[in-house]
Amino acid sequence: MSATDNLPLPDYDHLTLPELTSRVRTLDADGVEALVEHERRHGDRLPVLQVLQERLGQLREGAQPSGGASDAPVPGRPPAPDTGSPVSQATSGPPMNPPSHGDPTNPTQPRPTG
């Protein structure tokens, strides 16, 4: 059992600052305090502590947790890449091979002379 197993945010130590800023809004004061204590003992990263202490101050002044999921995607972040193309042999169009000298039906295309 590691030190991060009991933290209120999954994969806390691997979150980017924007992810942490978004997800910390789902926690109550006790959850944020647990993260502050963990951060001071392990990483002691100033920007992270500033985000956590700012949120803790907001909660102490009456702010409420957002009610979102603590592992939800961060707004403004691109979605996870697709696992593959929906195109298959059954749904793809016929193969296209352009003529070697361009499209003979295009009147603006120069024609070889000679």
* pTM > 0.95: no
pLDDT of residue 90: 80
Region for 37 from its dihedrals, namely left if φ exceeds 0, alpha if ψ lies in -120 to 50, beta otherwise: alpha
Tell me phi and psi for residue 99, to 5 degrees. Answer: -60, 150
SS3 letters across the chain: CCCCCCCCCCCHHHCCHHHHHHHHHHCCHHHHHHHHHHHHHCCCCHHHHHHHHHHHHHHHCCCCCCCCCCCCCCCCCCCCCCCCCCCCCCCCCCCCCCCCCCCCCCCCCCCCCC
Could you say which residues of the chain have pLDDT below 70? 1-5, 68-83, 98-104, 109-114
pLDDT 10s digits, 53-81:
999 999 999 999 987 666 666 555 566 66
Instruction: Note the residue count of the chain.
Output: 114
Closest C-alpha to 26, from 46, 12, 45: 12
pLDDT of residue 11: 84
Residue 84: alpha-carbon gap to chain centroid: 19
